[in-house]
Structure 1
Amino acid sequence: MKKLSFKLGMLFFIFILLIESMLFFFLYFGIVSEKVKDETSGLLIRGISHRDVLEKKLDSVTVRHVALMESEAEADVIITDENLKVIDSSNEISSKQYQIMKNSKAIEFSHHGLILEARWKTEPYIVTVNPININNTLEGYVFMFLPTGTIRNMVNELTYYFLFMGFISIIFTFITIFFLSKFITAPLLEMKRATQELSKGDHQVQLYVNRDDELGELAKAIQLLADELKHLKQTRNEFLSSISHELRTPLTYIKGYADIVNKKSITNEQRYEYMKIIQEEASRVALLVKDLFELAKMDENEFKIQKEAVSLQSYLEQLVTKFRPAYESQAVQLILDFPKKDIEVSIDPTRFGQVIHNLLDNALKHSGTNTSVTLSVNYSDSQVSIIINDEGEGIPHDEVHHIWERLYRVEKSRSRATGGSGLGLAIVKKIIEKHDAIISVDSKLGEGTTFTIELKR
């Protein structure tokens, strides 16, 4: 049998059976030993009691009285003189009893009495003897004989009861372990079924997770995995759908205008205009593929950051200088607000430049004429804040948290007018995270947007 429930049940069963067997063993022999000890001690005490009576008055009447006292009891009493000659007995004396008394002649007896025979398993009697001493003179003996058949019957009954109770306890243990193993393995089997469904691509898995034990923690982990796989599948499908749409649109333009360009009926000016559109759309596809490649490397952890100490003021001035002509061409003012003290930061100049380039490019695309974009720096002992603030159209409040998602655009109708792949901010967030930094956004519709990067010093 390879089932876990069977193996677990058998393991529990053998373990508990061993414990029960040991307990029954020690309990059984303890009770038997105690019972035999009680019978032997009781026999010796009764012999001492008879001896004490006879020491007070040793005559035929007293002897007969002692013999009659034991005549209806299980034990036999035999009273002898100092030479072991029988004076009286409670019952007829057997040859075995004579033999035992005869063999006791060579034994030194204490006044406290002596157990002559205690082997109840093999001998017919348990035997005790008590000497009768009057005025320090030995006058006789009191022999007590208890048939061992009575003890063996008692032990046999006790054995029967122990075997019966052992059998009942084994059955009860087996039933308990059966249900216990089912109770433990049932959730595991359910989790196995869930993982098999996950492996087949079915992520609609629901497990019982309201348990405060290790099985509950495992169920929660599998449920979390299922939910994450479901979300990942949904995200992947949405991503592929968006990618196909993003590629289909420019490719449709390229194919359509390429067909038109091949017509002989158009003028050179029209052909030039259409070729320019084809070039723009090809650049758009190239940008999309480039950004996708960047994200793929980030997802596969092939994306490395090479940090170095950089003077932040000169670094940002160079970036602003490159962007200023583009801003001036659209009548947007680009302002760099830097503190008097230069600051040194540890960044990857190329990758971090990609972040600033993307944010300034986005600010320019969404800013109107005669507005301004401010790149400012604040610092403290523990961090440096780089803030890019524009006076553009802003982002609706309910869409702010979506801007980091891949291929997400706030206004879908403006995607072609403003350009971009819709992957820029997703790349920005990845690069910032690689720098162990934080980027946040605050935006008000119609007033502008502020991006804040917080770098550790």
Structure 2
Amino acid sequence: MGRKFKKDPKNKKLFYKYLSIITLVSLLSVLIVCSTYLGIASKYRNDEQLTTLARNTTIISKNSEKILSQFSGKYNSDDVVDISPLSMICNTINNMSAAIDADIFIINMNGEVVVCKEMMSDRFRFDSNAVCVVHGGYKIDQSIIDAATDKDYTEVGRLGSTFVRTQLTAASPIKINNKTVAIVIATEKITSSWYSYAKRMLQIFLVAALFSLVVSFLAVYYLSYRLTRPLRDMATATEHYAQGDFSYKVKVRGHDEVAQLSEAFNTMAMSLSALESSRRSFVANVSHELKTPMTSIGGFIDGMLDGTISEDKYEHYLRIVSDEVKRLSRLVTGMLNMSKLEAGEMQINMKQFDISADIFKTLLSFERKINDKSIEIVGLDKMESMIVSADEDMMMQVIYNLIDNAVKFTPQNGYIEFKTYRDKEKLFVSIKNSGAGIEREEADKIFERFYKIDKSRSYDVKGAGLGLYLVKSIVELHGGQIVCKSRINEYTQFVFWLPNV
């Protein structure tokens, strides 16, 4: 009981596990938020840039159509008759490319680049003999040409197989007389400036995340410690209980579910303490109940054998020995029945019988004790036959225990009153005896197993505290109930009911 319990580092395993999980979840949450933000920001930027590219390719295509329409001659995708309009278009492309920092060029319907800013001479005129080192090797896929022939086209990709890396692309058709003769294409790399921006944002997020994690770690550490402290207290308490020390109590903190669990744990400890006390009391009672008759039986038989008791007194002492043997038999039977009831192994053999007749028969077995105490029996002349459906052997035990209890506690020249009656649903049996009565506090406990009203055993000298517990259990097993009514220094009355046949 005085054993000291050392704190085991393993007791904090749950605390560290909980702390690690919460920290990991917080870190993952920050990373998810950061990744989501960068993804949304990247998509938003791409959409904005594609909108800008599409708007400018449309402007160039409309401007090109207007320029070409102002000049006579025939223009097609393979031959340019007039150099002047191409110079104007090339100049427009050059200015627009510089303004939006994009690569803009025009392709014919075969996918070849025919106009780009690199074809402009130093005198700002289109040089048809110029060789473009940038776009000279481009050959736009037919699928792109088909997609951009009749309407504007945008993509985030490699423009078919033109580029090695993903780029932003917008295309608008140039139409003469409702016929597409060329396509304006504008491309923009996903520049390093965006990656720099993303990197800066990631750094900001990581700094914020680090700060948040530190704060979260401290908060989670504190909360985890508070949440797991009652569990550690309970673990310590179980160690005490395992050693039989039920005095240790878990401290209740707050009013939440953990506090309710702590209260329930303490309630359980009190129940275990009461059960342990009852068990010890039961062991002491049973030991005494076994020892007393065994001592009497052994003493009387030894007296007969060694001649201490004369032969003319044999019958008297043999009767005492017989009573003690019966007492031992009842004690053992009660313990066996209690064990069966608690294990749910008690089998009920239902049959119909007259419970009033069983009361008469059982009362006859107490005739000598009743006569010795000059007890008056009341109510037998008014009892009628009462048929009940129950296990007769069990009901006989109920009746026997109640009569035995009444005879035991009825004073000299007292009375015991019997009554049976019924209503539409229930059959009632009442056994009332005069005497000292039972305190209200005691009346609530007398049906508990091993409980004895008189701890000093000055009255209940031959009981183990099982009789009324078995009575209550058997009655409830039949679907009935039993109650105790008492008035101090006047009477004690037990009334039980069973369902009608």
TM-score (norm 1): 0.69
Return the offset for 1:230: 1.3
Written as runs of structure 1 = structure 2, the 5 A alignment for 1:109-188 is 110=149, 112=151, 119=158, 122=164, 144=186, 146=188, 148=189, 151-155=191-195, 157-158=197-198, 161-162=201-202, 165=205, 179=221, 187-188=230-231
Distance 1:45 1:313, change over 3 A: same
Return the offset for 1:27: 6.4
Q: Per-residue CA shift, 1:19-71, capped at 9, x if unaligned? A: 88788767655654553343234123113224434555668897657755654
Q: In the alignment, what sits opposite 2:79?
A: none
> Is 1:319 matched up with 2:362?
yes
Q: Secondary structure at the match of 1:450?
A: strand
Q: Per-residue CA shift, 1:154-188, capped at 9, x if unaligned? A: 14542664587479759967966975876765554
> Is 1:408 matched up with 2:452?
yes
Q: Which amino acid aligns with 2:48?
A: D
> Is 1:75 matched up with 2:112?
no
> Is 1:357 matched up with 2:400?
yes
Q: In the alignment, what sits opposite 1:335?
A: 378
Q: Per-residue CA shift, 1:255-311, capped at 9, x if unaligned? A: 9999999999x9x89x9999978985x678656644442342133226655443212
Q: Which amino acid aligns with 1:297?
A: L
Q: Secondary structure at the match of 1:356?
A: helix
Written as runs of structure 1 = structure 2, the 5 A alignment for 1:443-454 is 443-454=486-497
More deviation in 323-332 or 5-14?
5-14
Partner Cα separation in structure 2 for residue 164 and residue 190 of structure 1: 43
Written as runs of structure 1 = structure 2, the 5 A alignment for 1:126-275 is 144=186, 146=188, 148=189, 151-155=191-195, 157-158=197-198, 161-162=201-202, 165=205, 179=221, 187-207=230-250, 208=252, 213=257, 222-242=265-285
Q: In the alignment, what sits opposite 2:136?
A: 99
Q: In the alignment, what sits opposite 2:74?
A: none
Q: Secondary structure at the match of 2:136?
A: helix
RMSD: 5.6
Q: Per-residue CA shift, 1:218-241, capped at 9, x if unaligned? A: 656644432222111122233344
Q: Secondary structure at the match of 1:201?
A: coil
Q: Which amino acid aligns with 1:378?
A: Y
Partner Cα separation in structure 2 for residue 388 and residue 73 of structure 1: 108
> Is 1:381 matched up with 2:439?
no
TM-score (norm 2): 0.65
Instruction: Tell whether the 8 Å contact from 1:335 to 1:373 is kept in structure 2 after alignment.
Output: yes
Q: In the alignment, what sits opposite 1:296?
A: 335
Distance 1:156 1:306, change over 3 A: same
Structure 2 unaligned regions, length at least 5? 1-9, 71-83
Return the offset for 1:316: 2.8
Q: Secondary structure at the match of 1:441?
A: strand
Paired-residue identity, %: 20
More deviation in 150-159 or 162-171?
162-171
Instruction: Tell whether the 8 Å contact from 2:156 to 2:166 is kept in structure 1 after alignment.
Output: no
Instruction: Tell whether the 8 Å contact from 2:120 to 2:126 is kept in structure 1 after alignment.
Output: no
Q: Secondary structure at the match of 1:300?
A: helix
More deviation in 16-25 or 333-342?
16-25
Distance 1:284 1:48, change over 3 A: same
> Is 1:36 matched up with 2:46?
yes
Written as runs of structure 1 = structure 2, the 5 A alignment for 1:380-399 is 380-399=423-442
Partner Cα separation in structure 2 for residue 84 and residue 183 of structure 1: 74
> Is 1:421 matched up with 2:463?
yes
Q: Secondary structure at the match of 1:439?
A: strand
Instruction: Tell whether the 8 Å contact from 1:287 to 1:421 is kept in structure 2 after alignment.
Output: no
Q: In the alignment, what sits opposite 2:81?
A: none
Structure 1 unaligned regions, length at least 5? none
Q: Secondary structure at the match of 2:45?
A: helix
